[in-house]
């Protein structure tokens, strides 16, 4: 979950900044729609990001899906996620895992006005995608959504710069740390929403979660290991990566 929305510029201005789809402001404010779409309208016929996730083609999801495509090309399991775009009150994104099936859904705020207060709205959207996908990787590593977890918070103990009654500190600190690692692999900075600067230990643990959830890891050096269930006081003997302590 991202921190509250910031509305400074209009939606039409954001579409211009993104170089996105033309249309009215009403067109840009979309209701929740079937998941997904291609990286650009022009590439729709030849470059489907995730199979079976149909094209929408509006400003926010165009920018978001270009980031999903880039993460996919790094070998990340972004297509194991159901991606949706729609209006959300007071949030820029949400991620959750189905308690029965484990299927992860990410809902990205599709209202361009949500990002219009950022100096670079497209970067803010990319950062939002990475943050929410950080939550997805936490769920894939074995922590349930909808609650905080003491063991997760122990791995990501960074002080939160912002929170409210809905905030799960461990979940958000983990998502910010993972997003920071993903942004580094993408060659850019990450807009963080809860933690000003993740600790070195948090970044190492973020790398471990990424490596654990990526079948053919191409973006980090850690060897997969069971970070959730590992004995954090001992060096693993099975070749897996040790978990950094704060």
Supply the DSSP string of 60-82, one letter for each residue: HHHHHHHHHHHHHHTT--GGGEE
Q: Above 80 in pLDDT, residue 1?
A: no
pLDDT at residue number 165 = 77
pLDDT at residue number 105 = 94
Contact 87, 114 (CB under 8 A): no
pLDDT at residue number 228 = 54
Summarised one tens digit per residue, pLDDT across range 158-211 is: 999 877 778 889 999 999 999 999 999 999 999 998 899 999 999 999 999 999
DSSP assignment letter at 87: -
pLDDT at residue number 57 = 66
Summarised one tens digit per residue, pLDDT across range 76-97 is: 999 999 998 888 877 889 999 9
C-alpha torsion 212→214→218→222, nearest 10: 0
**Domain extents for the chain?**
11-213
pLDDT at residue number 54 = 63
- Positive or negative: CA dihedral 159, 162, 163, 164: positive
Q: Above 80 in pLDDT, residue 219?
A: no
Distance CA 144, CA 99 (A): 8
Which residue matches tokens 């939002």? 128
What phi and psi values does residue 165 have, to the nearest 5 degrees? -65, -20
Distance CA 165, CA 143 (A): 20
Summarised one tens digit per residue, pLDDT across range 94-153 is: 999 998 999 999 999 988 888 888 888 989 999 999 999 999 999 999 998 878 899 999
116: CB partners within 8 A, 6+ apart: 6, 7, 8, 9, 10, 11, 13, 14
**Nearest to 106, CA basis, from 73, 74, 75, 71:** 71
- What crossing angle do the helices spanning 121-140 and 169-186 adopt, rounded to 10°? 120
Band (235; pLDDT cuts 50, 70, 90): very low
pLDDT at residue number 206 = 96
Summarised one tens digit per residue, pLDDT across range 10-68 is: 333 343 444 443 332 233 333 333 334 444 445 444 556 888 876 566 778 888 888 99
pLDDT at residue number 62 = 80
For residue 242, count other CB atoms closer than 10 A to its CB. 16
Distance CA 147, CA 90 (A): 19
pLDDT at residue number 186 = 93
pLDDT at residue number 216 = 53
**140: which 2 tokens?**
């894939």
Distance CA 124, CA 191 (A): 7
pLDDT at residue number 47 = 55
pLDDT at residue number 163 = 78
pTM: 0.74
- Measure Cα distances from 240 to 137, 151, 230 in Å: 18, 19, 10
Summarised one tens digit per residue, pLDDT across range 145-159 is: 878 899 999 999 999
Sheet order of strands, 81-86 included: 81-86, 104-109, 93-97
């Amino acid at each position: 979950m991202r921190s509250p929305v910031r509305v400074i510029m209009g939606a039409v201005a954001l579409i211009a900044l993104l170089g996105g789809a033309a249309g009215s402001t009403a067109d840009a404010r979309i209701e929740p729609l079937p998941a997904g779409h291609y990286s650009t309208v022009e590439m729709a016929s030849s470059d489907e990001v995730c199979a079976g996730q149909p094209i929408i083609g509006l400003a926010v999801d165009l920018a978001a899906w270009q980031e999903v495509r880039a993460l996919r090309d790094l070998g990340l399991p972004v297509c194991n996620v159901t991606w949706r775009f729609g209006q959300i009150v007071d949030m820029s994104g949400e991620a959750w895992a189905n308690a029965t099936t484990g299927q992860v859904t990410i809902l990205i705020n599709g209202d361009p006005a949500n990002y219009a207060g950022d100096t670079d709205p497209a970067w803010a959207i990319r950062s939002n995608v990475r943050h929410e996908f950080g939550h997805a990787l936490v769920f894939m590593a074995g922590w349930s959504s909808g609650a905080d977890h003491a063991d997760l918070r122990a791995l990501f103990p960074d002080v939160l710069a912002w929170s409210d009654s809905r905030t799960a500190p461990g979940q958000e600190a983990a998502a910010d740390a993972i997003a920071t690692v993903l942004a580094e692999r993408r060659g850019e900075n990450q807009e963080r929403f809860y933690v000003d600067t993740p600790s070195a230990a948090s970044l190492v643990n973020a790398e471990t979660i990424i490596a654990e959830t990526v079948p053919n890891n191409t973006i980090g050096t850690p060897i997969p290991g069971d970070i959730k269930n590992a004995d954090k006081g001992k060096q693993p003997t099975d070749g897996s990566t040790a978990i950094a302590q704060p």
